[in-house]
Chain A
């Protein structure tokens, strides 16, 4: 297998090209996805390669985009519907959680909805409160939906292909701040299934569970902590729904201490769910309360200084770990 360095957005783009080439049932619709290649260039070159029948620009009408996708998916195609900024998902929410998520259940399994929704979330671009949110917890709360959060170029490609091949509605949340991040990506088509966590680092003193861009920050923190003699294990769940709790539990039983990091608001975030599952399953293996590090309960600030203070970063992750492991 030939592997080379690609950026996150190029890796995603390559996954789209290869998935569409491999399966004629896959098509793409969304705002500015065809002629412009997507505002983040996620879809560059698809129109040229696959033509207007499979790559469609739409008006600014999120509900219609998803509605079309649900219908097409129910009829057997594999649509990829782009919602550009995750913050716009509210407009299309009824189609997502009442239609896409429910059809298979309400039709007794006679229909499946292999719909993929792509969108970009996350702060750190000074894009202000309506263009910076991390709303994965909303989606993960709805039975019937799957939610992937690629945290590396490798995963950006593997998870978009995995989402397209999955027979259920799946939302792939890219992170805007990671678009230029480089990493090794195999040339060949490959797919990462939903619900398989990635153990980014193995360690023995503490488990850090991080999602999306926080994986990158936690990765830096793990290096810094290593220099201080603290061995941290870093787990990226990759998909928050379904959640690979078994990998997390195995790690916690080994390290006895846990920190969960996400960019979304702490209250009611995925961290709360993971924390609860950990204490339900391995309470007797904990040497410290499960710790969380996430955004405060406030909209994402526009001012860069405030935004930096709002989103967790490597130094704060390292500090939180030190608080967990410190002994007198």
Chain B
């Protein structure tokens, strides 16, 4: 029994994923748990692992962007034929299938796999799809085919269930599509678009899909073509990123690139979202020094009393995150989002935490952060950060943040300008804990401070209310016992 490998749904809002790279070859013997392919979503990259064993049959190519649940391939038992209606990307069936259109893919034809076939595996997509020995042709396709003098049963259907639709007939008539070819000839194929988004991008940029020279046009192909045309970036930030010049600036031409890091996966997501943030919002940053003496003192007490019990003492950052969660309750405008021409002030506080990981950063979200006690918050933060670094974080845990905190204090940074996560209106940067001093009457006393950097979207929040949020932070951090209980 063939085991279908499907595109997993990794989060509630996940609508598509891209097969970044197949990690196993067609026909390779696969065992349970073996990584089959690298899947990229707009938030994370994951390896899809085999849930059974068998010989790999890939049915989609690298770069395909597809909806969750789409069959990407099958694991076949030894000697097992592919399921009916599946056009294998297996080279053995290529030109033969095209030459003998009525042959169903479920009955593999024994033919020598020579080098020509190996180099053009996509030709396998050119044969008609048969189910129970029938080629399904829509009524409209039959009508159009009769008018245009095309035999629709020789075409490969691109409609649901492999049905030949009128567009297939029209494409064939226009000479773009695969016509039955004599054995030995190489067939060319009309572009088949996996995704309406690719079609839209192409239409917007005026790209001729037929000219892309690939039989399986993905959104990436279209973006690449847009880049080659050197056209102005389109409205969407992601294509703006993709539409950067594809050649080195002449001024840098003498340079050899030491290494090349593709702007895709997590890097691509960060690039798109940060550019989107800075192009769409009116961002500015307040720097504000808060006194941390009370927090430091409480932490020292906790350290002393917890030491022998092996209990975890919340970090400085945990205190700041807790204070920010409570401050958001008093200043709900910072916990809002813009929808069209409206500001929607949100009722729940879901705190995003910037976590640096190799090659980039992630922003896991602690839901209802304001309801958690300091200790529960510290535990959740630790678990989230570990899950990010180990790569076990789920897509759901990276969605839905309403505000974010990012800390560079441990790197010695005092003040910086954090960039707001799109969809939020604020982000709080936490600086280094440092010694300072202040006058108490005639006495100069030592004190410990850190700088908070609050970036806010001026479309929503004005300077004074943003400053009031920071004052509240200062008050809360001066009375850290208030931060301990939850709810």
Contacts and interface: CB of A to CB of B under 8 A. Distances in A.
Q: Do A and B make up one complex?
A: yes
Interface in B179-193: 192-193
Contact of B139 (A227, A284, A324, A327): A284
B160 interface: yes
B166 interface: yes
Given A256-B166, A287-B159, A322 B196 contact: yes
A283 B143 CA distance: 10
A232 B187 CA distance: 34
Contacts of A284: 139-140, 142-143
B197 A326 contact: no
A328 B203 CA distance: 18
A285 interface: yes
B198 to A, nearest CB: 9
A286 B200 contact: no
B155 interface: no
A323 B161 CA distance: 11
Contacts of A287: 138-141, 159, 163, 165-167
A268 interface: no
Given A256-B140, A287-B159, A288-B159, A229 B199 contact: yes
B192 A228 contact: no
Contact of A328 (B141, B142, B162): B162
Contacts, number: 56
B234 interface: no
Nearest to A323: B160
Nearest to B166: A287
A326 B140 contact: no
A328 B139 contact: no
B192 A327 contact: yes
A285 B158 contact: no
Contacts of B140: 256, 284-287
A125 interface: no
A227 B141 CA distance: 27
Contacts of A328: 158, 162, 192, 194
A230 interface: yes
B3 to A, nearest CB: 21
A325 B138 contact: no
A288 B165 CA distance: 8
A325 B143 contact: no
Determine the main DSSP class of A at the interface with B. loop
A208 B46 CA distance: 38
Interface string A99-124: 00000000000000000000000000
Interface in A270-292: 283-288
B196 A229 contact: yes
Contact of B138 (A229, A288, A323): A288
Contacts of A324: 160
Contact of B197 (A229, A285, A323, A327): A229
B196 A325 contact: yes
B144 to A, nearest CB: 9
A288 to B, nearest CB: 7
B422 to A, nearest CB: 17
Contacts of A230: 196
Interface in B106-121: none
A327 B129 CA distance: 13
A84 to B, nearest CB: 34
A229 B167 contact: no
Interface in B90-144: 138-143
Contacts of B138: 256, 286-288
B143 A327 contact: no
Contacts of A283: 139
Interface string A1-23: 00000000000000000000000
Nearest to A228: B196
Interface string A281-317: 0011111100000000000000000000000000000
Contacts of A325: 196
Interface in A245-281: 256
Contacts of B143: 284-285
A326 B140 CA distance: 16
Nearest to A227: B200
Contacts of B196: 228-230, 322, 325-326
Contacts of B162: 328
Nearest to A322: B196
A326 B160 contact: yes
B343 to A, nearest CB: 21
A83 B126 CA distance: 61
A325 B199 CA distance: 13
B404 to A, nearest CB: 27
Contacts of B163: 287-288
Contact of B193 (A228, A286, A323, A327): A327
Contacts of A323: 160
A287 B199 CA distance: 19
Interface string B157-181: 0111011011100000000000000
A327 B167 CA distance: 10
Contacts of B199: 229
B342 to A, nearest CB: 16
A283 B141 CA distance: 11
Interface string B48-90: 0000000000000000000000000000000000000000000
A285 B139 contact: yes
B270 to A, nearest CB: 24
Nearest to A328: B158
Contact of A286 (B139, B167, B194): B139
A289 to B, nearest CB: 9
Contacts of B203: 229
A283 B139 CA distance: 6
A98 to B, nearest CB: 41
B369 to A, nearest CB: 25
Nearest to B141: A287
Given A285-B139, A285-B140, A229 B158 contact: no
A327 B159 contact: yes
Nearest to B198: A229
A229 B196 CA distance: 6
B160 A288 contact: yes
A261 B162 CA distance: 25
A228 B142 CA distance: 28
A322 B141 CA distance: 19
A323 B67 CA distance: 11
Given A256-B166, A284-B140, A228 B197 contact: yes
B60 to A, nearest CB: 9
Nearest to B146: A284
Interface in A146-160: none
A228 B195 CA distance: 9
9 contacts: A229-B203, A284-B142, A285-B139, A286-B138, A286-B139, A287-B165, A288-B165, A327-B158, A327-B159
Given A230-B196, A326-B160, A327-B159, 16 more contacts: A229-B196, A229-B197, A229-B200, A229-B203, A256-B138, A256-B165, A284-B143, A285-B139, A286-B139, A287-B159, A287-B163, A288-B159, A288-B163, A288-B165, A326-B196, A327-B158
Interface of B: 138-143, 158-160, 162-163, 165-167, 192-194, 196-197, 199-200, 203
What 5 A-B pairs are tightest by C-beta distance, nearest first? Answer: A229-B200, A327-B158, A284-B143, A287-B165, A287-B138
